[in-house]
Amino acid sequence: MLQLEDTYRHKGQRKALVKLLKQKGIQDDAILNAINTLPRHFFFDSALDSHAYEDKAFPIGEGQTISQPYTVAFQTELLQLKPGDKVLEIGTGSGYQGAILHILGADVHSIEYQKKLFTHTKKFLTKLGIHLHFYFGDGSKGIVEQAPFDKILVTAGAPVVPNSLLKQLKIGGVLVIPVGDRVTQKMLRLTKKSATKIVKEEFDNFAFVPLLGEEGWK
Task: Supply the residues annotated as catalytic.
Answer: 67
Residues between 179 and 218 with contacts to ligand SAM, criterion CB under 6 A: 208-209, 211-213, 216
Q: Least distance in Å: CB of 195 to ligand SAM? A: 25
DSSP assignment of 145-205: GG--EEEEEE-SBBSS--HHHHHTEEEEEEEEEEEESSS-EEEEEEEE-SSS-EEEEEEEE
Please, what sign has the CA dihedral across residues 201, 191, 68, 55? positive
Residues between 138 and 167 with contacts to ligand SAM, criterion CB under 6 A: 138-140, 155-156
- Phi and psi, residue 164, nearest 5°: -60, -35
Nearer to ligand SAM, 102 or 194 (CB): 102
Nearer to ligand SAM, 115 or 193 (CB): 115
209 near 215, Cβ under 8 Å?
no
Interface with ligand SAM (CB under 6 A), residue from 66, 125, 143, 152? 66
* Number of residues written out for the chain: 218
Q: What is the amino acid identity at position 189?
A: R
Nearer to ligand SAM, 44 or 192 (CB): 44
Binding site for ligand SAM (CB under 6 A): 64-67, 90-91, 93-94, 96-97, 111-114, 117, 138-140, 155-156, 208-209, 211-213, 216
